[in-house]
Amino acid sequence: MRLRHKPWAKEKIEQHPQYVVAKPESFKGMWHEAFEKDQPLHIEVGTGKGQFITGMAKANPDINYIGIELYDSVIVAALDRLIEADLPNLKLLNVNAAELDKYFTKNDVSRVYLNFSDPWPKYRHEKRRLTYKDFLKLYEDILINGGEIHFKTDNQGLFEYSLMSFSAYGLLLKYVSLDFHNSGYEGNIMTEYEQKFSEQGNRIYRCEVKYQNE
């Protein structure tokens, strides 16, 4: 993804701590205190411009959501969506997903969403893929027992790699679709990339996997 630098983005983020949590480490183990209601927490790693996470929060008021995005020039678009929607069950974090354990602890999160992550196709970049085993351990360390990962991509190579990575880690494959938009699945909320790629005729892949540590 090519980013357009927005020099004003950091200042705008700092002006809205009610939406983009300024010191997320202070809520570690106590995320219920960041929301109006104590509800299950789902996070999206790599939330981009926020179309998916905002749609999910609107559709599921009985769940709390956090969208995580590293780049401030991207997360400001998600912030704009959240300011407009003013959803009490959605927060944003402008942090590095590789450091999730700084902000969450065991049992904080019920589900992790990975949507259209960077495929990092070169072998030497394998460790950067969000479905690499080190990331799977990171998610396990913050999820409830039996927590889930829901993964969508248009990249067949990344999807095949991820299925193998999930299986090797011992995750239970609950749902796998090789052509998600023609699967009859109801209630799908699309990301910006998903909408763009599907309109171009690209096939969308999706799976749901569960940690077997109950």
- The catalytic site residues sit at 118
Give the span between the Cα atoms of 83 and 96, in whole angstroms.
22
**Beta carbons within 8 Å of 211's beta carbon, 6+ residues apart:** 140, 143, 145, 146, 147, 148, 171, 172
CA-CA-CA-CA torsion for 22, 25, 31, 33, nearest 10 degrees?
A: -60
Q: Which two tokens stand for residue 189?
A: 């909320």
Give the span between the Cα atoms of 26 and 77, in whole angstroms.
25
Closest CA to 57 of 87, 21, 36, 29: 87
The helix/strand count (H/E) of the chain reads as 6, 7
192-199 and 51-59 are packed helices; what angle lies between their axes, rounded to 10 degrees?
A: 110
**Beta carbons within 8 Å of 196's beta carbon, 6+ residues apart:** none
